[in-house]
Amino acid sequence: MEEKCLKCGRTLFEKVPLDDKGHMAMNADAPLELESDGVDHFYRCTHCSAKNVVVESRSPHGLLQLRVSHVKIA
């Protein structure tokens, strides 16, 4: 499964199963690092340079997770 850039639609990173309940995690081999500009935390798309802003959320099981919320053009 892939997480896609909200601007260009290309792959930001691959997601892998975390457990047997359907939770997913970023592949540890992903070339992305979570960046911050002092206002937002984001993954920068390696294809179009858009900032894919992430927010903290909770899964239905109460687990803390990061979710790509929206995009800011770099």
In three state form, how does the secondary structure of 2-67 look?
A: EEECCCCCCEEEEEEECCCCCCEEECCCCCCCCEECCCCEEEECCCCCCEEEEEEEECCCCCEEEE
Going by pLDDT thresholds of 50, 70 and 90, the confidence category of residue 56 is: confident
Closest residue by Cα to residue 6 from 56, 45, 55, 32: 45
Total domains in the fold of the chain = 1
Percent residues over pLDDT 70 in the chain = 97
Per-residue pLDDT at 8 exceeds 80: yes
Q: Are residues 31 and 63 in contact, defined by beta-carbon separation less than 8 angstroms?
A: no
Q: Which domain holds residue 57?
A: 2-72
For the cut 80, the answer to whether the pLDDT of residue 65 exceeds it is: no
Mean pLDDT, all residues of the chain: 85
